[in-house]
Each structure stands twice: as structure tokens, then as C-alpha cells.
Structure 1
Amino acid sequence: MTDRVDDVPAWRKRTAGESRVAATAAVVGMVVLQLWLPAQFRPQPAWAWPAVEAMLLVVLLVANPVRLNREEKWLRVVSLGLTGLLSLATVWSVVLLVSGLIDGTLSDDPMKLLGSGVAVWLNNVVVFALAYWEFDRGGPAARAHAREPLPDFLFVQMQSPHLTNRDWAPEFMDYLYLAFTNAAAFSPTDVMPMSRWAKAAMMLQSAISLVLAALVVARAINVLK
């Protein structure tokens, strides 16, 4: 027996699509953090990666400026390409930071070390938030058109629809919260991964976060001593 239309929650219905403001702000924040990081933690040439990322973001803003509801293959490719570049830049920074901590070649300035570690950790949070947001149920545009009924992430509002607004549907801030709590607690909190790729992604993010926190703090304490 199929659900009546009135009984179907908003996250399983066609919607107008979410605003792109939050996701755009997150991407801009990542580009700024990349530019702020010392050159030793950035892929070279240092200006090229942020420039390409900014160009791809402008393309997305021009093509789909307000609501994320336009389903076209080329837009999906550009969006995933932007997320991929941000991910590669973050991985590069993580590798350089961790290798420098292990071989002892990093600066002995604890404030610079902690600042760089926090910036890389924040980029790790945001890039995984973008990944969760881009792939859950096919991405924001597919969610707006209710293409996939089965979620990759089970939010509390899905489990207790009677305790939330009937118009609720997951948006970028929900995925940012998921990524932040997973990075801070090293495990799921109130959002459960349902698909295998979601579990693998959350496991990878927790592992990166744990390594960064342990090595950066240990090195900073050692320098202070």
C-alpha cells in the first residue's frame, strides 16, 4: 500500500530546492583558508588551485544562482569537479602536515603549528560536509526532485517527523553539522550512515581527524616544553 501524499514527509517530496548560500559560503571559506595556510602546506603553484576553484564556483553561481534544483549532467560534473579539487587540496595539506610532524621539519612556533593544524582540520570538516551533501540521495538537485527514496544518512528529523516541521528536508547546514560532530567525536552522533559508502566516508573522516588532533597537539606540547 502506497503512502498518501499528505503522509509523505517533505524530504521525500519534490521541493523548490535548497538555497545555495550556505554551500557557497563554505566553498569560499575553504578557498580563503587555503590562501591563509603557509605555502609549505599548499599544492604548488599556490595561486593556481584557489583560482581554478573560484572559477568553477562562478560557473555554478551563474548557471544556478538561487535554488539548487537544476539537473543537468554538465552542472553535476562541474559541481563534483569543484568538490574533487577541494578534496585533493585538503588531502595534500593533510599529507604535508602529517609528514612534517613525523619527520620533525615543521616550524618550532607552537602558535603557527596549532593555527595551521586548526585550518587543515576545518578544511577536513567542510570538504567532507560537501561530499556528504553532494552524494546523499544523488545530490541536492536530485533530492529536490525526490529521485532517490532511500537516504544515505538518517537524520533525527526523519526518525521523528512528528517532532519537527513537516517542511523539513536536509540542507547543507545539516551535513556540515554531521561532518563537524563526526570529526570532533570520531564517530556518529545523532546522524546514522545507512549506505556502505557513507560508513566508509565517515570512518575515513574520523581517522583523518584523529591523526591530525593527536599529532598536532603532541607536537605543540613538545615544542612548548
Structure 2
Amino acid sequence: MAKKSRAEADVDAQQDKLIKRHARGEHRWPAAAGVLVVLASYAFLPTAIMPLPVRIVVVTLGLAMLIPVIALNPVRLVKQTSWSRALSVGLGLLLATANVAALVLVVIELITTGTQDGPSMLIAATQVWLTNMIAFAIVYWELDRGGPVTRHTSERSELPLADFRFAQDEDHDAIEEVAGRSSARIDWTPSFVDYLYESAISSMAFSPGAAMPLSPRVKGLLLVQALGAFVMLALVIAHAVGQLSA
């Protein structure tokens, strides 16, 4: 038998270090709490921004999609069916789409109302900015590597291609105190808080955070999110200056 090369031996040694995966899924409640915050924010938007019937439809539909997936995995995300996957992804896209619509309506109101009802418009803009951050975090969390159930319970060789590249995915050869948190050492897997952080950085810095986007779909989503946050911030500042000078 031919002797293995040093590179092949290193790969084999690295594979031996990989921890066997266990079906201990991610906690349900951080993401569920995020969904409820977004729905509550939509429910209390001013009528001038989003008419009451539209808000009722969005909130009711969001709750109708959330309750079945919570019933399937009430504590940890360990089970998945085709219908639960469709509901989970659909819920994230519903929240993001509703937020883009609300953002457009807030922009129209900020442009057309001048200095009238300034405090109400600024509060509404803050609500939309906050929901923009959470809603897109939910979408990233649902899409990356097949979603939270697949990410935590499937063997890594079976995972779909990643949408984000996290530092932990390639830190196995760093110094010991850094390598100790790597995916290869402790089977680290991104959870909701990691995607919330990425979404928050995109909303505030308009650039990637700790993870780099890899897929075209996530790059497009990040572009939409950052553009919306930038427009909202610029108009809120302009509106606030107008209020002070009025």
C-alpha cells in the first residue's frame, strides 16, 4: 500500500477529530420570540403606515404559520416535515416581505407629511427598522445549510451548501484558545443569535459582519436589507432635522 502524503494524513487526522453529531437541536424560543416581536410591531404600526385590515391579515397569517411549527418542535428543533419546512420558510419570507412594504409606506409618509405628526412617524420608522433586522435574521436562519433542523441533526457531509461562511468553520488550525471553539473541534453550528448578529450589522454598518455571504440569494437579501436600512436611516435623520428647524 502506498504511503499517504502529509496532506492526506493531515486530512485524516482532522476527520478523526470531528465529533459525532447528535440530534440535539437548537432551542425553539429565541427565533419564536423574534417572530412575536415582529408581529407585535406590525400590529401597532400607525394606520397611516399600514391600514388595520392589512395588519390584521399579516399578524393572523403569521400566527397561523407559527403555531403548527411550534407544536411540532415545542422546545428543541429536532423534527422536520415537508409541510413544516414550507411553513417555516414561508413565515420568514412573509415577515420580510411585509417589512419591505411597510418600509416603502413609511418612506412615502416621511416624504409627504413634512413636519406633521413627526413623533409618530419617527416611532413608526424605528419599528420598521427593528423589524427589518429581525425579519431578515429569521430568513437567513431558515435558509442557511437547509435550516435549523438540518444544520444541527444531519451529518456534515449531507448538509446543503452553506449560504454563510463563519469564522468557526475554518478556525481549527488557529491557536488553541481559538481553535477550541471551531466547528471541527466541538461540532459548532450557527444558531439564531448568529444570524441576528449578522442581520444587525447589515442594518447598522451596511456591510457583512463576522460571516461572509457565499450564495447569490443571500447576497441579494443582504443588499435589499442594507438598502432599506440605509434609506430609512437617511430619511429619519432628515425628518428629525426638519423637526428641529421647524
Q: What is the TM-score of this pair, normalised by structure 2?
A: 0.82
Equivalents in 2 of 1:186, 1:80: separation in Å? 24
Kindly state the Cα deviation for residue 149 of structure 1 after the two structures are TM-superposed.
Answer: 5.8
The answer to whether residue 78 in structure 2 is matched with residue 61 in structure 1 is: no
8 A contact 1:107–1:113 mirrored in 2: no
Distance 1:113 1:9, change over 3 A: farther
2:169 maps to which of 155, 158, 164: 158
Equivalents in 1 of 2:225, 2:170: separation in Å? 24
Could you tell me the percent identity over the aligned residues?
36
Kindly state the Cα deviation for residue 80 of structure 1 after the two structures are TM-superposed.
Answer: 1.7
| 4+ residue segments displaced more than 3 Å | 1-6
Kindly state the Cα deviation for residue 44 of structure 1 after the two structures are TM-superposed.
Answer: 4.5
Kindly state the Cα deviation for residue 167 of structure 1 after the two structures are TM-superposed.
Answer: 4.2
Q: How does 1:33-112 map to 2 (within 5 A)?
A: 33-42=41-50, 44-45=52-53, 46-102=55-111, 104-105=112-113, 108-112=116-120
8 A contact 2:109–2:121 mirrored in 1: no
Kindly state the Cα deviation for residue 163 of structure 1 after the two structures are TM-superposed.
Answer: 4.3
Q: For residue 216 of structure 2, what is the amino acid of its counterpart?
A: R
Kindly state the Cα deviation for residue 9 of structure 1 after the two structures are TM-superposed.
Answer: 6.3
Where 2:209 maps in the other structure, the secondary structure is coil
The answer to whether residue 72 in structure 2 is matched with residue 30 in structure 1 is: no
Moved more, 75-84 or 107-116: 107-116
Alignment partner, residue 168 of structure 1? 188
The answer to whether residue 222 in structure 2 is matched with residue 211 in structure 1 is: no
Instruction: State the Cα RMSD in Å.
Output: 2.1
Deviation digits for residues 114-139 of structure 1 (CA, Å, limit 9, x no counterpart): 21111100111011101110110111
Alignment partner, residue 7 of structure 1? 17
| Higher relative contact order, structure no. (Cα contacts within 8 Å, ≥ 6 residues apart) | 1
Alignment partner, residue 195 of structure 1? 215
The answer to whether residue 143 in structure 2 is matched with residue 123 in structure 1 is: no
Equivalents in 1 of 2:227, 2:168: separation in Å? 27
2:143 maps to which of 125, 129, 135: 135
8 A contact 2:26–2:148 mirrored in 1: yes
8 A contact 1:182–1:205 mirrored in 2: yes
Q: For residue 187 of structure 1, what is the amino acid of its counterpart?
A: S
Deviation digits for residues 160-206 of structure 1 (CA, Å, limit 9, x no counterpart): 24041624210001000000011100011321111222222212211
Higher Cα radius of gyration: 2
Equivalents in 1 of 2:210, 2:66: separation in Å? 31
Where 1:41 maps in the other structure, the secondary structure is coil
Tell me the matched-pair count.
222
8 A contact 1:43–1:93 mirrored in 2: no
Alignment partner, residue 182 of structure 1? 202
8 A contact 1:154–1:194 mirrored in 2: yes
